[in-house]
Structure 1
Amino acid sequence: MRIRPLLVLVVLLLAGCRIDGTASPAPDGWEFVSERPCAETTASGADEFSCVTLSVPVDHARPAGEHWDVTFGVHRAEGERRGVFVTSTGGPGSSGLDLAEAYSTEFPDELWRDFDVVFFDQRGIGLSQEFRCDDTYFDYYAFVDSSSSAADRDAFAQDSTRFGEDCFAEAGVDPATAPRYATAQAVEDLEDFRQWLDAPQLILYGESYGTQYVQTYAAAHPDRVERLVLDGVVDLTTDQTAFAVQQAEGISAVLEATLARCDADPTCAAAAPGDSLADYDALLDQLADDPVTPPGGYPVDDYTLRSAASASMSDPYSREDFTEALNDALNGDVAGLDELGNGSSGPTADFSEALYLAVECQDYDFVPAGGDPRAALDDWLGVAAAAGVDDLRLSYYYGDEDCLFWPGSTTDPDFARPEPVTDPPYPVLVLNSDTDANTPFVGARAVFGRLVPDAGPADAAIIQRYGPHVIYGYGDPCVDDPVHSFVETGELPAQRVTLCTW
């Protein structure tokens, strides 16, 4: 999920002079439900937006069947509308409405004047038929890795199967609907909204998982895309085990870059003289043998150190906090590591861990249709062993194994994953940092590399050195200015690849 520094919110005027579309195109498709100020809803971050709720088919392949309510937030153009700019936030599982105002503070005045600005709650979060099982999720713990015995793997399979069943039971959702949370279903909700809004095309910005969402929409409706911005890119051609290996290798590389940066900075290096990477390794061994408990804190062991590092690699601000805590620990004060690595987390209104799994477990082919999840677990762990992920300093590899036993994981997916895009009818701007721990740079490089230069509408890439996961919106003009220009006019940077530095 995206992490940003807090930004000062601005007050925006909501122009309500135009109401677009109020009727369904067909009695068995989507239907308009209501429109009201988002300030009158439970969405906490979209007070200056208008919330539009549509009743959409649960299964878009069967539009006459059950419907769910899905809500979109729109800030209408203050002048004559020249286009519609849609933001798809990360996750999966985040509430776009709760993030709308914080994410849009960097938008220039021209964008508010000329464009309808849209954020939304994807089906399964917030105002859109929320799917949550917070008690089940936060009470559940089961772990397995490539060194686990057959008995441990059997126990994990049983625990994970029960977890999925209990999650749907707590949410009050029929497990038979599990495939309907797939991104390929969710993007059809956006298509229904485009029809209601009476917009011929959409300008799409996706961040992190949102790049998966907008690429899926663009594949299904290429003629409805005016231009596309991908920030923190997911390569849809990469299967989940390969992506997990990339993440594991990527986060370890970011840790190494972070510690090397500390050594190169006189102030950081002076705080704990020595080789930061070697000192990190030595501290891991020391805390494994002899955990330390700070006054009023919790025991700090090697797991705490790894947890603190993993939680801090997504952006440069957090990396600075980690190196400061590491230097303090090397000088005998582990309070900072305790705070970063032992901090408890619980459910928040703007994110659903259950929806994260519901989408993730449907979007990837974790178990072949009719296959054996237990055998698939052995395959999953075999990939980990072959790639050596357990020997890395950090690893994101483990975390999606519950998808092997999630309801619906052994059935046929609703839709095939989109084919690689090489010559789309819309221009594309790709954004990524070379130190992205969540969606490693290799994904952006692959997606951009498949776009054929001069074969159709132009495309370009902006790469930020030592940047965060998702690089737009931090106030760097090297990144933000060309993004704004592209969104507003379609104009791309003069160079096909632009390099920026954090």
Structure 2
Amino acid sequence: MNDAFRDLPGRTAGDRPRPQAARSGRALLRRVAATAAAVFVVAGCAVGGRMDERPVIKAPVPELQPFYSQRPEWRDCGDGFECARIEVPLDYAKPSGERIEISVIRLPATGDRIGSLLINPGGPGGSGIAYARAARAMFTARIRARFDIVGFDPRGVGESTPIRCMSSKELDSFIGLDANPDTAAEVVALEKGSKRFAERCAARSRRLLPYVGTEYAARDMDVIRAVLGDTGLTYLGKSYGTFLGAWYADLFPKQVRALVLDGAVDPAVPALKANEVQAKGFEVALRAFIRDALTQRDNPFRSRTVGGALAEIDALLTRADQHGLRNDLPDGRVVTESWAVLGIVTPLYDRDAWPRLRKALRSAFAGNGTELLRLADILVERRRDGSYANQTEANMAINCVDRPYPAKVDEYRKAAEKAAAAAPRFGAYVMWGSLPCAYWPVKPAATDPIRAVGAPPILVIGTTRDPATPYEWAKGLAATLASGVLLGYDGDGHTAYRAGSRCVDDIVDDYLISRRVPENGKVCAEA
């Protein structure tokens, strides 16, 4: 959940970018298809059509009652889904002031309905609407029978009053900056590019920037819960979505029905330390990929050892840094080291995408970086026409106000050197990726530890070889939450639910439906 890699599809942590799909079949492509579908359909989800009949839920304070008791109009938006927009205050301290809209989508339950299951794919900046569009693949038939699957774009994201900072060409240049600088000149270029990013966000989205932090998104979730007519929140969040869910539980512990936090982020870990831990996670995932690749018929490596294969990747990144790799796409981009790193990282989120990485590396070793660039475009949500979703901008805007970051470049330099020693391929890149936060026009507010005292049992899930949210973070979050229950998954890839483990899927389904929790610390084996 930092600012260099993100949940699929998306450029950082935990999160970047993107919705997390089931690993069965071509999961990476399914995620991309879900994102593309949302681009063309969500615009048609304007208010109109039938009024939904739900009980009125009492607001936590009287001033918010107009938001909690609103009755949005739901409209058919294709493929069995219904869409609506829900109003929330821009600033919860001033509920009578400016209002913004949150876009919401739902797939109605097919059987004996319990209520709504609110979902978030991560990011920050990932589209919950795109994620919900893939609900038939993301959730078991048991869950879809008992719950309306409800996705939403958090404030500042996608269709919900989005943050905008740069043009597409500017984003191409920003993402392509050398985030593993070798010279003083490269550091200066990175400083200037990061400062310009922050300045452009201030120029285009200043009124929104103070109000896109996770605390605000969690408060929006409670409004959504009430509008849906649920007396308690049932929620599944992945990666950054676990941070959002933990915030909700801390703010509204008595309104929690059941929360699944999968691919957990540990809020207690300082920002730069989290970057380093995440970079190590990607190194672990890369080694797991290489070990598997060495057994495959289409193995792209000449070496027969993990160390030798890593040396080949190092040489490839050096080549991209010094000369760039060829790009056959008609967009004029040079495949720099940063684009190549993103292309390698993207498939590490999902084991089913490893064959595509083998193919991309084979081409890249021959000097052609086109396939790596295509993979990188998935992560940063760059469309074929060269335009971007706002995931990169929202990701940075939310991260920079959620946690304190250093204001001095020297601190990033020292942290990058330390991270590079621990994670040679990804450490510096992840650390320098947070540099725009040094120039951010909005400072993060001080927050207390997240404990969620008074909430019922909360299920926290971690995968042992998760590249983006290491298993130790799940342990930390489960221990920090007053009612946290840890479930481990001994496997590869980012997040565990619907990753191929019947054990994990059954435990999650039983918990969401019946609120039965497993023994704390139970570990499910990889299928």
Instruction: Select 1:83's aligned residue among 115, 121, 134.
Output: 115
Matched, 1:309 2:334: no
Counterparts of 1:276-291 in structure 2, within 5 Å, are 276-282=306-312, 284-285=314-315, 288=318
- CA RMSD after TM alignment: 3.6
Alpha-carbon distance, 1:139 to partner: 4.7
Asked whether the equivalents of residues 293 and 299 of structure 2 are also in contact (C-alpha less than 8 Å), the reply is yes
Matched, 1:36 2:48: no
Matched, 1:340 2:364: no
Matched, 1:200 2:231: yes
Partner of 2:4: none
Partner of 2:126: 94
Superposition TM-score, scaled by structure 1 size: 0.80
The more displaced of 59-68 and 301-310 is 301-310
Asked whether the equivalents of residues 459 and 517 of structure 2 are also in contact (C-alpha less than 8 Å), the reply is yes
* 1:76-124 deviations in Å (ceiling 9; x for gaps): 4456643332112211112211221213434344433433332111111
* 1:383-430 deviations in Å (ceiling 9; x for gaps): 222344587023333312111112213xx52x6154345x65312222
Asked whether the equivalents of residues 342 and 376 of structure 2 are also in contact (C-alpha less than 8 Å), the reply is no
Counterpart-to-counterpart distance in 1, 2:396 and 2:339: 25
Counterparts of 1:352-371 in structure 2, within 5 Å, are 352-367=391-406
Partner of 1:491: 516
Alpha-carbon distance, 1:183 to partner: 0.7
Partner of 2:489: 463
* 1:50-82 deviations in Å (ceiling 9; x for gaps): 323222111112212211112322344456643
Asked whether the equivalents of residues 108 and 148 of structure 2 are also in contact (C-alpha less than 8 Å), the reply is yes
Change (3 A) 1:326 1:496: same
Instruction: Select 1:169's aligned residue among 179, 189, 203.
Output: 203
Matched, 1:416 2:447: yes
Counterpart-to-counterpart distance in 2, 1:158 and 1:204: 40
Matched, 1:405 2:474: no
Partner of 2:14: none
Change (3 A) 1:381 1:268: same
Partner of 2:150: 118
Partner of 1:501: 526
Asked whether the equivalents of residues 244 and 397 of structure 1 are also in contact (C-alpha less than 8 Å), the reply is yes
Asked whether the equivalents of residues 183 and 213 of structure 1 are also in contact (C-alpha less than 8 Å), the reply is yes
* Larger RCO (CA within 8 A; separation ≥ 6): 2
Counterpart-to-counterpart distance in 2, 1:143 and 1:286: 15
Change (3 A) 1:287 1:403: closer
Asked whether the equivalents of residues 260 and 276 of structure 1 are also in contact (C-alpha less than 8 Å), the reply is yes
Alpha-carbon distance, 1:236 to partner: 0.6
* 1:181-218 deviations in Å (ceiling 9; x for gaps): 01101111111122223321111111011111111111
Which SS does the other structure have where 2:432 is aligned?
coil
Change (3 A) 1:179 1:303: closer
Give % identity.
Answer: 24
Which SS does the other structure have where 1:238 is aligned?
coil
* 1:357-398 deviations in Å (ceiling 9; x for gaps): 11111101125xxxxx3x2x2222222223445870233333
Counterpart-to-counterpart distance in 2, 1:418 and 1:294: 48
Which SS does the other structure have where 2:137 is aligned?
coil
Which one has a bigger Cα radius of gyration? Answer: 1
Which SS does the other structure have where 1:65 is aligned?
coil
Which SS does the other structure have where 2:261 is aligned?
strand
Counterpart AA for 1:71: S
Superposition TM-score, scaled by structure 2 size: 0.77
Counterpart-to-counterpart distance in 2, 1:344 and 1:460: 33
Aligned residues between the structures: 466
Asked whether the equivalents of residues 459 and 492 of structure 1 are also in contact (C-alpha less than 8 Å), the reply is yes
Asked whether the equivalents of residues 314 and 468 of structure 1 are also in contact (C-alpha less than 8 Å), the reply is yes
Partner of 2:354: 319
Partner of 2:13: none
The more displaced of 105-114 and 431-440 is 105-114
Runs (5+) with no aligned partner, structure 1: 10-15, 40-45, 368-372
Change (3 A) 1:104 1:210: farther
Which SS does the other structure have where 2:230 is aligned?
coil
Counterpart-to-counterpart distance in 1, 2:312 and 2:144: 53
Which SS does the other structure have where 1:192 is aligned?
helix
Counterpart AA for 1:93: G
Matched, 1:259 2:285: no
Instruction: Select 2:246's aligned residue among 197, 215, 218.
Output: 215
Counterpart-to-counterpart distance in 2, 1:123 and 1:63: 16
Which SS does the other structure have where 1:105 is aligned?
helix
Asked whether the equivalents of residues 311 and 340 of structure 1 are also in contact (C-alpha less than 8 Å), the reply is no
The more displaced of 49-58 and 270-279 is 270-279
The more displaced of 432-441 and 216-225 is 432-441
Partner of 1:370: none
Asked whether the equivalents of residues 237 and 262 of structure 2 are also in contact (C-alpha less than 8 Å), the reply is yes
Counterpart-to-counterpart distance in 1, 2:224 and 2:342: 41
Instruction: Select 2:162's aligned residue among 116, 121, 130.
Output: 130
Alpha-carbon distance, 1:497 to partner: 0.9
Change (3 A) 1:315 1:220: same
Partner of 2:458: 428
Matched, 1:481 2:506: yes
Partner of 1:42: none
Asked whether the equivalents of residues 30 and 55 of structure 1 are also in contact (C-alpha less than 8 Å), the reply is no
Change (3 A) 1:344 1:210: closer
Instruction: Select 1:241's aligned residue among 254, 272, 275.
Output: 272
Asked whether the equivalents of residues 116 and 147 of structure 2 are also in contact (C-alpha less than 8 Å), the reply is yes
Counterpart-to-counterpart distance in 2, 1:322 and 1:292: 19
Change (3 A) 1:292 1:61: closer
Which SS does the other structure have where 1:128 is aligned?
coil
Alpha-carbon distance, 1:241 to partner: 0.2
Counterpart AA for 1:365: P
The more displaced of 293-302 and 29-38 is 293-302
Change (3 A) 1:450 1:344: closer
Change (3 A) 1:143 1:61: farther
* 1:294-335 deviations in Å (ceiling 9; x for gaps): 7958987866754442233211122333234445666xx454
Instruction: Select 1:184's aligned residue among 215, 234, 239.
Output: 215
Change (3 A) 1:110 1:308: closer
Counterpart-to-counterpart distance in 2, 1:30 and 1:144: 47
Alpha-carbon distance, 1:168 to partner: 4.0
Counterpart-to-counterpart distance in 1, 2:268 and 2:114: 34
